[in-house]
Chain A
Amino acid sequence: MTTKRLSIQRYLPEQRKTPFRQEFDVPFDDSTSILEALNHIKEEIDGSLSYRWSCRMAICGSCGMMVNDEPKLGCKSFLREYPGTIKIEPLAHFPVQKDLIIDMEIFLEHLAAVQPYLINDSGESTETHRQTPAQLAKYLKFSDCINCGLCYSACPQFGLNPEFLGPAALTLAHRYNLDSRDQGKQQRMPQLNREEGVWTCTFVGYCSEVCPKSVDPAAAVNQGKVESAKDLLISLFKR
C-alpha cells in the first residue's frame, strides 16, 4: 500500500496562540477518503488531532474542511483525487476552536433568524397537508441542504462581513417561502430585505460550485432579491 502526505493545519490554543502546520504520511488506496485518513492519523499517529465527523456518507454535514483551499466534505473527498501533498485546513471564514474544529455559532444564529421550518396556523394540527407534484417541484431543488457550511467558506461576502445571513440561511428561507404549505413568508421577508440579507450577495456563485448536494444557493439567494424587490413594491402600494 502506498502512502500520501497530508499537511494539516493544527491549532492548539493551550500550547500556541497561532496555528501551525504538521505533516503526516498515511497509507491509502482508491477507496480512502480524507476523513478515513484523518481517522488513521488519530488512531495510529497522533491522538490529539481534533475534527468533527459523524455519518461518513455525505448527509450529516459534520466533516466540512478546506482541502487544497476548496471547501469539501472529508467523507466525500478521496486521496486518489489529489496528486502530491494534500493541504487540509478548517473551513474558511469561521473562528477556529481547535485544529479542524470551527465555531459554527454564527451560522446557526443566521439559520435560526430566517425561521427555516413550515409556519402554518390554519386548519387542524392533525390534518395532512396536500401538495401537487408541480408545487413540490418549485422548492425541491433547494430542500437538500445539509447545513454543512461549505457555502459559507466559499462566500467572500460572508468572509468580509460575518453579519451577512449567507447562502444556506437565505436558501432555506427561499425554500420555505416557495412551499405551498407554508404561510410564514411575511415573517421571513424583513430578514431577506435587510442590508445583510439578500442584497449583500454579489453573485460570485462559488457557493453553488462547492455545495456537496447541488442545491444551487446562488440561484436561491438571487431569486430572493426578486422576491425582496416585489415585497418592497407591494409595501409601497399598501401604504
Chain B
Amino acid sequence: MTKHVGYVPEMKRNWWLKNRYFMAYMAREATVLPLVFFIGCLLAGLYCLLQGQESWLTWLEFMQNPLTIAVNLLAFVASLFHAWTFFQLFPRVMPLRVGGRAIPAKWIILGQWCGVLLVMVLFAWIFGRGV
C-alpha cells in the first residue's frame, strides 16, 4: 500500500451514530443479542431435560419468570425485524429470473413472508395438537 502524506482523519467509535442508515444497520446487527439469550434458554432446557425431573422443573420455573418472558418476547420481535430487513435485502443479493425475465423484488419479498407464515402454521399444527 502507498504511504500517504497529509492529514488522515480518525474514525471515532461512535461513527454509527452519525446518520440514520448507520443506526438502522446497527439495530439490524443488534437483533442478535436477545436471540442469543433465546438460544441460551433452549440449550439450558435441553441440558435440564437430561439432568432429570427436578432440574427440568427449575428450568420451567425460570422460563415463566416475567423477565425471561419479556426478553424472549423481545427476541421474537427482534427476529421479525431482522427477517423484515433481510427480506428487503434478499432480492438485491439474489435477483431471481424466470424465463429470462426478472422477478419483481416485491414478489420475492412476499414469497419470503409466505414462507414465514407457512412455518408458523406448521409449528402451530405440530405443537398445538397435544393442547
Contacts and interface: CB of A to CB of B under 8 A. Distances in A.
Interface of A: 11, 13, 17-19, 69-70, 92-93, 95-98, 103, 105-106, 109, 134, 156, 159-160, 162-163, 202-206, 209, 216, 218-219, 222-223, 225-226
Interface of B is mostly: loop
Contact of A219 (B1, B9, B15, B92): B92
B interface, size bucket: 20 to 34
A106 B93 contact: no
A175 B89 CA distance: 19
A160 B13 CA distance: 10
B7 A96 contact: yes
Given A206-B21, A209-B21, 16 more contacts: A13-B6, A17-B7, A92-B9, A95-B5, A97-B5, A103-B4, A103-B6, A106-B4, A109-B1, A156-B22, A206-B19, A216-B92, A219-B92, A219-B93, A222-B93, A223-B92
Contacts of B11: 93, 156, 159-160
A162 B1 contact: yes
Contacts of B21: 204-206, 209
B94 interface: yes
B16 interface: yes
Nearest to B10: A159
B18 interface: yes
